[in-house]
Structures are given as structure tokens and as C-alpha cells.
A and B are shown apart, each in its own frame.
Chain A
């Protein structure tokens, strides 16, 4: 036993002395997001030049493929040194409950992150007082996009509440606009549901919902479903065939007036469509959520049993640092999770989002993994689909409540 310990100690010193370590980073940032990841890796290599960085990217939208590969590797006992996951319950409800992740509270304390990350955010990525992942970026999900010129032409303004939205919708329909709101495939409808629910329930009730203090079968939530049904009556009928980009295109072309989408749409409008903020495209908080920032974040965690733990910890330090976040986010089109970021590097939209990030109430997004585990989210898509077909608010609420019980929400 003693001998084994000695050997282990010798090995440990040997590796740290040589310092020619290795680090494998697992993410789904390919394509457009690749350069942002590259910037981070470059920063890491400047600090730790002797470490060989292996960029194990698995491409595929929102990590659908990467998550399956990750599961195979984790179950097979060869976890990557650090992997990307949506911050919050998607990681906690999947890997933390299975006792597969390391507690990062120590790192948060020693790096002083408790002070620079907003409290609401730290609460979202923690359970039982322990933090589990380092958020690299922040996106906002409750943004309503429109075309300012077209709105002027129709003589309407961006509605502030959902009832106001419904009157605006009727007005636009009277002017011959068949679908004042545009939605796309299933997840964008869940995305819309989230904004409608927060806009009608309020931020506090939304948090209660995920803490198990408010049941899905509560009349308030049933009412949110009913409102969602009315909002969907304003939307296009060919939704399930459209990607979010195609849906955004209809705002620009004037086929629809509004689209609720996350702020990656700003990147699409400015970079791909070459439109200027405030003239080519406009934005407002989704109706009823003006002082609320519904956030989602990409984050990295530390799985138990990695081969290169020290290198992975250094990687997490770079991710959480001011330099790291300022290198990554302007390229990714998101904003820094830290409140002390250098705003001069960001575009017009991001500056307004960063200002809201510092001042608004922060709550987590459902469809992007912050408040509910994967098992809930994936099945909830079916509930939304069935609701859109049947418009049965009570049934959808009851189904959602059953899902919540099964996924252990509020336990």
C-alpha cells in the first residue's frame, strides 16, 4: 500500500515536472463558432505552451450529435478532460445527479468568480451550494425581432405585453398579413412558449415552477398555455418545415412582423444578411418580459476520472478569466458572463444586451437547458407539439406535471 502511494506520488511529481501535458476539449463548436473556440485555445497555449491541446469537436446543431458521443464515452469510462454543456440543469440533471462531475466551488472561490458572475447565474449553475460548471458566454432567449421599416409601414409598434400583442396581431391580420408572428420547427415553438410563459407568469413564478413550488397544473400555468394557443393562432401554418434562419428571413422580407428568437439572430442579421442594427432589424424584450433577462449559457465542466485533471483545471481558469471571455464572446456573438467585460469590443446589439445583463432580473431558459434536465426538455417538445395540434391547455399542463414528477423537478 505504502509502495503504491509512493509510486503514485512519484508519478504525480514526474508529470508536473515534465509539464508536457495533454488536454482534450470536447465541444460542438464547429463551423461559425469554430473561430471563437480557436481564440480561447490560442489564449490557453500562450499561458501553457507545453500542453498539447486536442480539439475534439463533434459538429451538429445544439450538440445533438456531440451529446450522444459524450454519453458513449462517459459510459465507456473514457471521459474527455473537459466538455461543453448548456449551463444549469442540463448538466446537473444529467451528469451531476449521476455523480460523474467534480465540484468546482473551490475554483470559484480561489478565482473570485463568486463576485464577478451575477448571483442569479451562480444559483442556476449550482445545486446544494456547489457550483458545477464555468459559464463562458451568455445568450438571451427572450428577444422579439422585427423590421423597423415594415412596422412603420403597417403603423404598429412592438407590443409590450402579450394581450397587447394579440390586439396588434388582430390589427395586422386586418391589414392582410396572414401570419403576424413567424415560428419554425419544434424547438422554436418551445422557445416561444418559454417567452409566453414568463411573460404571463412573471419571473418569480417561473422560478417557482422549476423549484417545484408552483405546479404545472396550477390555473396560472394552464392560463399561460391558453395564451400560448392564442399567440400560435397568429403564427404561420408551415412552421415545422422552417429552420430558425428561414423564420428570421420572413421578418426581413415582410411576410411576418415578429419573431421570438435568441440573440444569435442578431449575429445572423448582421453577419449573414449584412443588415445594420436599429435600421435593418430591430429588437425588444419579448412581451411581458421587459425587466427580465432569460439566459442560457455554454459552460465547461470537469468530469470525474479525467487523465489530465491539472490541465483541465487550468483550461477552466482561462474560460472564466476576463481575457478569456473577452476573446471568445465578440467572435461568438454572445456576451460575457462576467459583469466586468470590456464592452468596447462588442456590437450595438450586444452592448444593449450586456447593459440588461447587469441590471435585469436573470432567470434560466427551459428549452436551452438552464432550468430543466434533458429528460424533461426532450419530452416537453412532444407536449408542445400535441398542444399545438389539440389546443387542450388542461391536458398539456397535466402532461407537463407528470413529466416534471418523473424528471424529479423540485426535489
Chain B
């Protein structure tokens, strides 16, 4: 019984409460939500808030409703908006953060002050950021008045109230688009594997890509998710929200990049100079590759923030503006205003899956790396 030494017992006793709490309040509740999302709780108003509601299991009907139901166009637009929002938010934060970090890395005067200024927005909550930017982006307010400072006409861009969208596509083409994108990724994987001489990998990836492409070209065009075409695209009203979100979080990426830049040993830079690298060449071939892991971590953190964003949108554009709406907002309204608890749980589950897509590969790669080091 060497395994049950006193130390071991102690450690188990001390850890048990948190394991139980996490099991119940995180994983138990996730399981409960997933179960609720497969029931009809809330479809019948008489049962939604009853003392002892009758709830029936209906399988994946709620998910089917969300993706193909006539009434759920708002949700589908929100999914598209989330993808665009995440893309521009991450690109904006990485770009601006890297730019600021590169400037600060040159040791300008008053560097500490600048660092504080750039990092400051991160200390605010999204609600505060949202309220400030809501004022700034009023049709006759802040940003639109800026040209008058230089004697120009005030701008008229409707930042948060635009109803225009660009890059529209028909939701019915979604299977085709998804399959094509995945196939292209697989082809790239196959090409890379071929380059490194991994024959089995090349073969598997190439066959999968061919199958997907074949499906996309032969089957997908005949699939009809909705009775009528339903265009979705990038709503211009989101631009205002993206600006506010980038303003809030780019200080964080700046701090990450600055730490990375300071962590690059001086010898490496000197060695690069000796080898004849100019400023540009040094950044391109020495510094940026070393910053790649930082970009990855930043993308993970920013990615999950943007997928589940709620408060910023609520504060800036209100809950009822479908041009700026996001799934988290819809989940709240569906559950707590329309009392459609099952449908709300289904939206929540889809959000969880989206976040898992971002987080899980990162976690596995981290664990693998740790094992490799150990």
C-alpha cells in the first residue's frame, strides 16, 4: 500500500472539493445544457414557466430549426457576423499590437508612459468601452465630427446603424462553400506532406480532398437548406464594434509582443547584422519567426473572446439591432425574453463547440509540447 501514503491521502483530500465542484458546476451543467438543447422546453408557452414543466426529448430538432428554420434567419446572420468579426478583430489586434510593440521596442522617450497609455483600455470592462464608443460613433457625434477640426464637412457614415452588407452569399450555398474550403486546406496539407516525404499522409489527405471536392461539385449544388435564397454577408454596422473591440484589446497584444521582442537575445540580432541583414531582413528572417508562438497564443485568447462576445455589443448597439447582433446576445434573448429555453440552450451549445474548435487544438499542442520537454 505504498500508493496510499499520508501525503497522497492529503493531496487527494485537498483536491477532491475542487474536482467535485468543477465536475458539477462546469461539466455537469454543460451536460445539462446539452440535454436541454435536445428537448422542447419552451416551445409550448404553457409549459415554459410552469412549476413542474412537461419536457419531452426531441433530438436534434432545435439545431435543425436554427440552421434551416424559416424564422431563424437572424441566428444564421449572427453566425456569419461572428466569423467576420473574429477575423477582423484578430487581424486588427495583432496588427496594431505588433506595430505599437515595434515602435516601443525602439526605446522612444517616455516609453513607460506610452506603455501605460496603450495598455490602459484593457483595464476597462467591455461595458465601459461600449458606452464610450457608442457616444463617439453617434451619427452626429465624435468620430463623424472629426473632419470639422480640419475645416472639413462632418462625415455621415452611420457607424452602428448602417443596414448595408457586403460580400453577400446565399445560405443555401453554405455546404458547397464549407466543403470547398476544407478541400483546399486538405490539398495544402497533402502538398506539404508530399514535400516532407510522408507518403501515407499525402495519400490520406489527397483522397479526402478529392472526395470532398467531388461531393461539393456533384451533391452540394442540389442541396436546399431553405425554401428561398437567404443572403448573408458582412454587415457594415459591425465595423464600429470591431473598432471598439480592437481599441480595447490591442494593448494586450502589444504587451505580449513587447515581452517577446525583449526576450530575443541581443546576440541573435548582432549575429544577423554580422551576416549582413538589414533592418528589414532582420525583422523578416529573425524576429518575426521568433514571435510566431506569441501570435498563436494571442489568437487563441482573442478568438475565444470574440466568439462569445456579448457585453460590448449590448452596450454599443443594444440587444435588438440585428445588424450588429451576435449569437451570445441571441441566446440571452431567446432564453430569457422569449422563454424558449431549449432553443437558447442549443445556441449556447453551438457557441461552446465553436470555442472548442479554437481552444482544443491549442490545448493538445500545449500538452504535447510539455510532454516533449519532460
Q: B-contacting residues of A (Cβ < 8 Å)?
A: 64, 67-68, 71, 74-75, 93-95, 97-100, 185-187, 237-242, 373-375, 378-379, 381-382, 385-386, 388-389, 395, 398-399, 402-403, 406-408
| Residues 302 to 324 of chain B near chain A (Cβ within 8 Å) | 317-323
Contact A389 B338 (CB under 8 A): no
CB distance from B325 to the nearest CB of A (A): 9
Q: Which of B45, B320, B323, B338 has the most chain A CB atoms inside 10 A of its CB?
A: B45
Interface residues on B, range: 35 or more
Secondary structure dominating the interface of A = helix
Q: Which of B46-54, B275-283, B293-301 lies at the interface with chain A?
A: B46-54
Residues of chain A within 8 A (CB-CB) of B154 are none
Give A71 to B73 CA distance when docked, in angstroms.
Answer: 27
Residues of chain A within 8 A (CB-CB) of B163 are 237, 240, 388-389
B122 within 8 Å of A (CB atoms): no
Contact B161 A97 (CB under 8 A): no
10 CB < 8 A contacts A-B: A64-B319, A98-B45, A98-B47, A100-B50, A187-B320, A237-B158, A240-B160, A240-B323, A241-B139, A406-B71
Give A93 to B47 CA distance when docked, in angstroms.
Answer: 11
Contact A239 B74 (CB under 8 A): no
CB distance from A385 to the nearest CB of B (A): 4
Q: Which of A68, A382, A406 has the most chain B CB atoms inside 10 A of its CB?
A: A382
Secondary structure dominating the interface of B = loop
Known: A95-B49, A238-B139, A241-B139. A186 touches B44 (CB 8 A): no
Give A408 to B228 CA distance when docked, in angstroms.
Answer: 26
Residues of chain B within 8 A (CB-CB) of A187 are 320
Give B316's nearest chain A residue, CB to CB. Answer: A241
CB distance from B165 to the nearest CB of A (A): 8
CB distance from B313 to the nearest CB of A (A): 13
Residues of chain A within 8 A (CB-CB) of B158 are 237-238, 241
Which one, A97, A373, A381, A398, contacts B70 given CB within 8 A?
A398
Residues of chain B within 8 A (CB-CB) of A67 are 336-337
Which one, B43, B137, B317, B320, contacts A406 given CB within 8 A?
B43
Give A187 to B319 CA distance when docked, in angstroms.
Answer: 11
- Using A71-B339, A385-B323 as known contacts, list a sample of 11 further A-B pairs with CB atoms less than 8 Å apart, ordered by residue number in A: A75-B49, A98-B49, A98-B51, A99-B46, A185-B320, A240-B237, A373-B45, A375-B45, A375-B339, A379-B338, A403-B71
CB distance from A292 to the nearest CB of B (A): 26
Residues of chain B within 8 A (CB-CB) of A93 are 45
Give A385 to B165 CA distance when docked, in angstroms.
Answer: 14
Which one, B44, B49, B138, B337, contacts A74 given CB within 8 A?
B49
Give A97 to B49 CA distance when docked, in angstroms.
Answer: 9
CB distance from A101 to the nearest CB of B (A): 11
Give B47's nearest chain A residue, CB to CB. Answer: A98
Contact B139 A395 (CB under 8 A): no
Residues of chain A within 8 A (CB-CB) of B70 are 398-399, 402
Residues of chain B within 8 A (CB-CB) of A374 are 337-339
Instruction: Pick the 6 closest A-B CB pairs, nearest first.
Output: A186-B320, A241-B161, A98-B49, A240-B161, A97-B46, A238-B139
